[in-house]
Amino acid sequence: MTVLRRPATVALCALATFAVAWPIAASAGVGSDPDAREAARLVRGTRAAAHDHDFTGLATVTWTTPKKRTAQVHVTDVSGSIAIAAIGGGGAVFDDGRRTYLKDRLGWTGLVVEPTAHDLPAPDRRWQLTTAGTSTVAGRPATVVLAARPDGTPAQRMVVDDATGLLLARDILGPRGKVERSVSFSTIDVRERDAGPVTPPAGVENRVAQSLTSVPEGYRAPGSLSGFQLVTRSRHPDGVLLFYSDGVFTASVFEQQGDLDWDALPAGGTDTQLADTRTRTYHEASGDVAVWERDGLVYTCVTDAPSDVFTTMVGAMASDGRSTPEAVVDFVLGPFGWG
């Protein structure tokens, strides 16, 4: 049997980033340093803000492939349910707070069974959180929060609205300080919650992505990988999706049984050797994507983590023939904060 993840899914991961990332903020830890506590409070508050305030707006997503690329999406949040659509077509995302659904040319697909706040590691477990002055996004005064690597270099920059606590912008930074991906509101209309949830589009069904307590025989699901912790498992019609988090970034790995048809993969990827394993990588708005096969399983991994974290993580996954991914996936399935 020859299998691969649906090509359209790779290209549309950017949209899901908005919907899935926010739960990480809910479990922000508290350190002894007053500034670290304030940074954690701001991050922790982004989830509550998404439930307390309805909003609509336009956001710009920027990423390098390695050329710089941009896209615009329209975002609507009502009572914590979120709908995202690419301007000019090209896909959509719906998130009801429990599951994230992705629409491509083949219809709606249940993409992620979301974790609850207590399932997620604290952001300061691995990353140092600090405030870093002020900024203005879409005309709204905001506070900047940095998540730094052990050597002090920033890995993520978040901009939190002072008036509402909403996450207005997010930058992912490489080890040399270069912005690798970013997403930011260009306009936003915020109001107090006053309506029912966004109506699910026709075709969205909870049964598409089924939560699992363990994976079926033939799949692998390590509990922790390269600093990431397994938080949810879900069954899909054509495989199993694992969702990981390290408290600041997220990663997911989609497993399918069979052999990988390399010729059928989407164009634009780069073939590399990671841990002596042939791997095809892509740079998408959602994050970095890697596809490979080993021991009868095909892996599609996406992570919103910086490039250095991505390389270490995928190298560890691909080198281990006995256990599966050490953790992976998504701006798509990564921490932005509007779900």
Domain CATH code at residue 67 = 2.50.20.10
What's the distance, CA 262 to chain centroid? 25
The pLDDT, as a whole number, for residue 112 is 59
Q: Are 220 and 250 in the same domain? A: yes
Beta bridge partners of 94: 83, 101
SS3 96: coil
The pLDDT, as a whole number, for residue 195 is 56
- Look at residue 146 and tell me if it is in a domain: yes
The pLDDT, as a whole number, for residue 152 is 92
Q: Are 95 and 13 in the same domain? A: yes
The pLDDT, as a whole number, for residue 207 is 57
- Look at residue 45 and tell me if it is in a domain: yes
Number of folded domains in the chain? 2
Q: Are 21 and 155 in the same domain? A: yes
- Look at residue 325 and tell me if it is in a domain: no
- Counting as low any pLDDT under 70, the low residues of the chain are 1-32, 65, 89-91, 97-99, 102-119, 192-209, 286, 317, 319-339
Q: Of the candidates 192, 216, 251, which is a domain's last residue?
A: 192
Q: Are 181 and 235 in the same domain? A: no
* Predicted model pTM: 0.77
- Look at residue 335 and tell me if it is in a domain: no
Q: Are 241 and 234 in contact (CB under 8 A)?
A: yes
The pLDDT, as a whole number, for residue 26 is 40
120-139 b/e (C-beta count within 10 Å ≥ 16 → b): bbbbbebbbbbbbeebebbe
Q: Are 111 and 254 in the same domain? A: no
The pLDDT, as a whole number, for residue 143 is 98
- Look at residue 324 and tell me if it is in a domain: no
Owning domain of residue 298: 207-319
Q: Are 74 and 146 in the same domain? A: yes
- Look at residue 201 and tell me if it is in a domain: no
